[in-house]
Structure 1
């Protein structure tokens, strides 16, 4: 998954990185007899995009998921139809890119333990969603049958809802993945045997039996080839996938000729103010309750594809990450690594993001601004070849910690304004549409057949205005208590109370439903079964209006489309869909998952469907925007006492380990198969202390077996994906691990509105207990089940027309055959390095069997003679570590960014990152008296070129602050002193307890932060457990160095010292 919204954010900030793919499609030509013949795309022709590509890498899970449960068309009838869909989609992508040397197909294998926690959460949610949809569909169909609604042939059996296919089957070790592996091998061999464009292509298949995530297996391959002396540094790479982290992985390869290929999911974006998910007005995507379902029989055209050019992104980042007057040589490759590292803080698949960072709030820009301002002070880059300099990383986090309070308050202000605007829009819409409906229902003349587009309405001065088209009843909003406050606002009906508005809207719902029902029933009489269905549907719509849920809680969009079609067309041959049948149950009902927010701070399972589904967001009891939020956060999220400071440090240390693990994973490969982050939530930036003293190391370990991962991530509802011998471990009360598989589980909304945005509070798997319980069942597995639980290797497949075939045939299948393995000759393989071994199940020119029992036999069949060869493939071992550098001999294309782009990017970089109330923005190179650094974490140069020492410092009126373990040294701060500190600072130690000998120290001129500016408070040393702060005493605070405040310290620099662990007020 990577960073949510990263692709959209990048494409908006750096617009030239994206371009449309020029695609040639299959054509149809008419024959003389009137029939048509399909002419496939000829991949041998030059690439229409103007540049030839060498290698194409497919992250296959990005193909398998949309092919198995598509959003824009009916789902496949069975798993074999899914395989055909995978073939067709993959063929389209290959024809689009036309790789000339290599195609790599990588399917997710067993994941590292760090990823399994996220997989577990997703699969438990997926199973719960499928169960709720199936239950709702069954209830709906029973209700329809009870009311006499039936299909056209009257068969009750055909009305049974079809059980939702379990997408959890797309996990290593399942029968589905076994079928996928066999199908992919067949399809590749079929294409190599029949398609001339594939004759010179080498294909590597890394299926689910090979451990590792698909995209990271691809990165391992790229790194392994770079380590070969014969690698061409100008190889042109394309990687296809839906995960946003492919962009960061592309950067991390340091291969400059790299592109990411993906569907243009925003191709259908419509007018401003419309939701990009459902294209409906009145709300944004973050509050959307699901895209509308399409009418059956209407097939959307395939989505277009786009390129993301990593080479152009490198151009942008080279400008943005370059800091003027940097005291060491700028190294773009190292700066790019730091950029990737900072992206991890706003989201990744292995760690929860820091509470104060959100990409939608320009969290990456905030970190870049901190990085730019501290690069001169840090003296070097934060990362090197996948390793983190923890002292420099803490500098970044200290800069963020100074802004956390203000970020949370700004976020709250933004949320309140957005919600108020949403309520105003909904209330205005209800008032406007309610008035229209009321005029129709009160009129002596009946409404015309089908509402006219030019409904006449009265203007505010009594004139006649041309109105909008009257919407259908399903467009009417519903209201919940506390939603819209309209009293005395002329835009919402003058002095109407909230109750008046709700009453009028509900009355309008009932009147409109009755009017439209009468209109339909008085038109050409439909068939009896359709009439009965319409009766029941309108009854549901009216009931929805009465109970406040509105028709949207009863009718799915496709059913509403059916009513609209019946209302607007009297032609009995209309193609509108009839009674819901076996293929459409889930599309005729409201989605209980996406159509309503969860009610309060937490919910069982996925939150269900709330009665006040349109109400205000659930109460956020942590209230990050209010003082004391840290204590509330740890009390509620970690169930820790306020005094348990050590827990906060443990959480922060685990998070630091996670940052180091993720960076190594991206740049060097998996550092540990067994490490994972053992908490559901992240710490605050202010909780990271003494990072430079932390020693991080990992034990490599071994990956789980496929069945062990299945048992670690699957809910009991998906136990059909596992051999039956393991089922009792998930369901029986006497099972030693039954608590790992809760049927109902808590979802913490964590300040969000919808359950799918929350945190699933599932118990973490105890690895030792899980493996011990499973090992008792292994002897009971069948031979075929044991095969599915074994690890495999990559397969290299190529045509018998490829030069490599002769070498393989000579070594493996001739009378002179030698050892069953050899090292590849890169002169023959066009640069492919590695070694191959004989695959025992393959024999040249043997029959190629079609692996599916049914399917589209016209498109794919078995072959009497397989014209491809298959061998086991092993990547070359990387000596030492993979270096973050460009390889010698690389050639760059002409820059794409012009002068205006460069200047605009420089200006954007200078102003990047918003001041959330911390130190005001100022260019880092300007260090004159009184100027303040942009989000700086440490002291600057000062008038006498001294940084503040140790964090001691004088505040206003000569007061002195000292913060070493203040809770123990000083005890509680008396109220009068707290007030004094907040206003003027401490006047010369008055009222303070005795200090240790030697304090306060006497600083010579120009050192230590004397002469703090007006209104500043000196802050003190700022130990890990407290300090006197400007506005109040906090047990876990820590002050700031002398002179930090309104004027800046003249002698001690801009902040006069570090003041570790504290916050700015």
Structure 2
């Protein structure tokens, strides 16, 4: 009903409001499957395919997702901008202040940065740039250990991409990953850059440890001031004084919240040393729970994880450049394989994907909403989420593992099975 009301409103404005008459409104609600920004990219790709399309057409997309930059680049449109709200110190959007990112100028700078590549096909380089950015994580795959913005992983990968281009060549072609070239790239990248990555990681970790101490000092100081303020309140305290104390308390609580959101050592939770290759299995035992006492099975699991991750990289590349290649695919692990294992993976990656069927909007809500948001579901589905005997109960646990700090944590939940969703969601459809 909400979608129908919005559609009616748009039609009314186009027909009756002179300011809307030269505007084309494309409305797509939850009954058209897909993410909003990807629907927009699909629309732009459709425009580009039409006869007589003006290549100088300008596009601007508004949103807070960082992937809008890569999505904009993947259209290969020269006049593209991303508009987003500025963020407050609490990482909340400021509704009347904006940032504009000019992708056209960014493309020009990338062209200069990659100019040392002989006989460069710049549009293919753009696709490779987008692909390499996937290694720091995206909405569908976790980031690869050591490859992060904080460790300058992207800069190091791009620098190596240019310097070693003759060895590995282009990594993608028309949205398809060239896995042989990718393997050569990763192997040479590890040989030449792994020490730099480790150094950056260690530097950031030490800085985070120091910052953690400073954060604790400021939080303890704010909490002490709160206690002192509360001690001054008596039955005889005037209303004006109470208001002043209340304002000060709110300010102190805000300070504590800001400090808790700051960068702290908890963002570097790895419990093993990358400098010791013998601890490779310890990573998988710690993160995946695989048995250290069974190295044969451990290696088989690592190969499976590598295959699934690389298959996932292909899925994401197709998703960004062509549209959703499969509604059924998902990465079956909470963490990624190590870079050295991806570099040494020689098996053929199965990239055949069945398109399948998208979930119904109600099933989608079941898949993404946490237990606390059950009120947003149709009433007929409340029992499916809350009843411990429900087939879906294990997907909505009260207790679960969290990796990382509050502002950037990963919740380790059971992978939700679409086959279980359909019968469970039927009462609400």
Q: TM-score range by the shorter chain?
A: 0.7 to 0.9
1:693 lines up with 2:343 in the alignment: no
Q: Specify whether residues 705 and 320 from structure 1 end up closer, same or farther in structure 2 by C-alpha distance, changes over 3 A only.
A: same
1:662-811 matches, within 5 Å, as 662-688=316-342, 689-691=344-346, 693-749=348-404, 754-775=405-426, 777=427, 786=429
Give secondary structure in 2 for the equivalent of 1:396.
helix
Alignment of 1:547-566 (within 5 A): 558=247, 560=249
Deviation at 1:634, TM superposition (A): 0.5
**Alignment match of 2:301 (pick from 644, 647, 652):** 647
1:323-722 equivalences under 5 Å are 323=116, 326=118, 329-378=119-168, 380-402=169-191, 403-404=193-194, 407-420=197-210, 423=213, 476=221, 513=228, 526-527=238-239, 558=247, 560=249, 617=266, 620=269, 622-625=271-274, 627=276, 628-642=278-292, 643=295, 644-688=298-342, 689-691=344-346, 693-722=348-377
Structure number with greater CO (CA < 8 Å, separation at least 6) is 1
Q: Distance in 2 between matches of 1:680 and 1:723?
A: 29
Computing the radius of gyration from Cα coordinates, the structure with the larger value is: 1
Distance 2:41 2:334 in 1: 28
| 1:321 maps onto 2:137 in alignment | no
CA distance in 1, matches of 2:263, 2:364: 39
Using the TM superposition, give the Cα deviation of residue 195 of structure 1 relative to its aligned residue in structure 2, in angstroms.
3.1
Moved more, 253-262 or 416-425: 416-425
CA distance, structure 1, for counterparts of residue 299 and residue 412 of structure 2? 23
Deviation at 1:196, TM superposition (A): 1.9
Distance 1:699 1:196, change over 3 A: same
Indicate the residue corresponding to 1:246 in structure 2: 68
Per the alignment, do residues 725 and 249 of structure 1 end up closer, same or farther by CA in structure 2, a change over 3 Å counting? same
**CA displacement at 1:773 relative to structure 2:** 3.8
- How far apart, in 2, do the equivalents of 1:336 and 1:637 lie? 33
1:651 Cα deviation from its structure 2 partner: 0.6
Contact 2:208 2:263 in 1 (8 A): no
| Equivalences for residues 1014-1025 of structure 1 within 5 A | none
In 2, distance between residues paired with 1:414 and 1:305? 30
Change (3 A) 1:321 1:615: closer
Q: Secondary structure at the match of 1:344?
A: helix
Give 3-state SS (helix, strand or coil) of 1:261's partner.
strand
TM-score, structure 2 normalization: 0.86
Q: Which SS does the other structure have where 1:206 is aligned?
A: coil
RMSD of Structure 2 on Structure 1 (CA): 3.6
Rounded to whole Å, the distance in 2 between the matches of 1:561 and 1:671 is 49
Q: Label 1:691 to 1:196 Cα distance change in 2 as closer, same or farther (>3 A).
A: farther
Q: Secondary structure at the match of 2:164?
A: helix
Aligned-pair distance for 1:398?
Answer: 1.5
1:653 Cα deviation from its structure 2 partner: 0.7
Preserved contact between residue 151 and residue 200 of structure 2 (Cα < 8 Å): no
Deviations 1:95-124 (A, max 9, x none): xxxxxxxxxxxxxxxxxxxxxxxxxxxxxx
Question: In 2, are the aligned partners of 1:374 and 1:395 still within 8 Å (CA)?
Answer: no
Which residue of structure 2 aligns with residue 164 of structure 1?
A: none
CA shift, 1:255, in A, is 1.6
Structure 2 Cα separation of the partners of residues 678 and 301 of structure 1: 36
Q: Answer yes or no: is the 8 Å Cα contact 1:247–1:260 preserved in 2.
A: yes
Q: Which residue of 2 aligns with 1:40?
A: none
Structure 1 length as normaliser, TM-score? 0.37
Structure in which a larger fraction of residues adopt helix: 2
Q: How many angstroms apart in 2 are the aligned matches of 1:679 and 1:700? A: 21
| Conserved 8 A contact 2:209-2:264 | no
Task: Summarize deviations over 1:548-604 as a string: whole Å, max 9, x none.
Answer: xxxxxxx8xx552589xxxxxxxxxxxxxxxxxxxxxxx99976xx7758xxxxxxx
| Mapped contact 1:382–1:389 kept (Cα < 8 A) | yes
Q: Which residue of 2 is the match for residue 82 of structure 1? A: none
2:85 and 2:264 mapped to 1: Cα distance? 35
4+ aligned runs moved over 4 Å, structure 1: 424-427, 587-591, 594-597, 613-621
C-alpha contact 2:127 2:172 (8 A) present in aligned 1? yes
| Structure 2 CA distance for aligned equivalents of residues 706 and 733 of structure 1 | 24
Q: Secondary structure at the match of 1:304?
A: strand
Question: How much does 1:426 deviate?
Answer: 7.4
What is the SS of the residue equivalent to 2:61? Answer: strand
CA apart distance, 1:342: 0.7
Equivalent of 2:81 in 259, 272, 285: 259
CA separation of 1:616/1:691 partners in 2, compared to 1, >3 Å: closer, same or farther? closer
User: How much does 1:621 deviate?
Assistant: 6.1
Match of 1:919 in 2: none
The CA distance in 2 between the partners of 1:517 and 1:701, in whole Å, is 64
CA distance in 1, matches of 2:269, 2:94: 43
Cα deviation, residue 690, structure 1: 3.8
SS in 1 for 2:25: strand
Offset at 1:194? 4.2
How far apart are the structure 1 equivalents of 2:265 and 2:251? 32
Other structure's SS at 1:247 match = helix
1:68-98 CA distance string (max 9 Å, x none): xxxxxxxxxxxxxxxxxxxxxxxxxxxxxxx
What secondary structure does 2:27 align onto?
Answer: strand
Preserved CA contact (<8 Å) 1:261 1:305: yes
What is the aligned residue count? 422
Deviation at 1:209, TM superposition (A): 1.1
Q: Partners in 1 of 2:317 and 2:208 — Cα distance?
A: 36
Instruction: Provide closer, same or farther for how the CA distance between residues 396 and 692 of structure 1 changes in structure 2, counting only shifts above 3 A.
Output: farther
Give the C-alpha shift of residue 256 in structure 1.
1.1
Aligned-pair CA distance for 1:309: 1.6
- Taking a change above 3 Å as real, the CA distance of residues 721 and 617 of structure 1, as seen in their structure-2 partners, is closer
For 2:165 and 2:291, the matched residues in 1 are separated by 37
Which position in structure 1 is the counterpart of 2:33? 211
SS of the counterpart of 2:60? strand
Distance of 2:396 and 2:215 partners within structure 1: 44
- Cα contact 1:404–1:685 (8 A) shared by 2: no
Aligned ranges for residues 1043-1058 of structure 1 at < 5 Å? none
Ranges in structure 1 where 5+ consecutive residues have no aligned partner: 1-177, 266-276, 279-289, 293-299, 431-473, 479-505, 538-554, 564-586, 598-612, 787-1065
